[in-house]
Structure 1
Amino acid sequence: MSTVTPYQHRDSPIIMIVMRDILLILLGIDMIAVVAVLLAGAVGMTRGADPRRQNRLMRWRVGLQAVAVALVVILIVTG
């Protein structure tokens, strides 16, 4: 008798389990990066930073959010 975590199936190959764990770790890192860029932009706006830098931070945030959405979709599809 083996121990099975809630998101695993007994018939799941180990590669799928490892891949899911890696995707979850990447999603967590990406979410932290989104929050960091968002906070950097908010702090910069309150201090009156260069508008070009603010625009660059906004583009980075949007790109990181797109990556997060893509990772969530991959996790749902492979789940």
Structure 2
Amino acid sequence: MRRNPQKKQKENVPLNSLPETGLLRLPRVLMFIEVSKSTWWGMIRQGMAPKPIKLSKRCSAWRAEDIRAVIDGTFTPETQEGVKNQ
């Protein structure tokens, strides 16, 4: 018998739980910016979201300041500091 998995409901995460500084991994970013993974990566390619910081070959993170700028609508690629163009 197959189960029909139900889609998890995302909890509303208060914006004040977003740290002022630090790094956020993808699942945490998507808690604040409610889009799918593929949409998020598309936003990065289009310059609508910050490029990740590579912590290792398979580990990426985003600056909390950049995520806050995306939420506030003030993000531009020029506002992103310290990330090389890849």
TM-score, L = length of structure 2: 0.23
Q: By percentage of residues, which structure has more helix?
A: 1
Using CA pairs below 8 Å that are at least 6 residues apart, which structure has the higher relative contact order?
1
TM-score, L = length of structure 1: 0.24
